[in-house]
Amino acid sequence: MSVQVYIPTPFRRATKNADRVAIEAPDVRGLLDELEVQYGALKGLVRNEQGEIHHHVNIYVNNEAIDALQGLETALKDGDEVSIIPALAGGGPTLAGGGPALAGG
């Protein structure tokens, strides 16, 4: 079975700028395994060395986060669309304060 995987901008260096790739896999874990075989530079970007998905990365099957499904064991079927979405985050001063003056930039 073949599923379409959406590759976000931050990870496209690892896929030779491909924004979509087709992968055959029975579940999300198998899909990530196969992705890392085909695109070795993805190793470490999506999962840590223990094979766990980084906390700043979300994976969706169609429109559903895998956290709300069966996680890495979420089964895939032909035609599914998987999206790998890294966090977009930031923030101001540290918890202890110490940011620049109000007029800083």
Neighbours of 83 (CB within 10 A): 16
Q: Which helix (H) or strand (E) holds 57?
A: strand 57-61
Nearer to another protein, 78 or 102 (CB): 102
Nearest to 87 by CA among 32, 26, 29, 46: 46
Nearer to another protein, 22 or 101 (CB): 101
Q: Work out how close the CB of 54 gets to another protein at its nearest, in angstroms, rounded to a whole number.
A: 10
Interaction site with another protein (CB under 8 A):
6, 8-11, 13, 19-20, 44-45, 55, 58, 60, 63, 65, 83, 85-95, 99-105
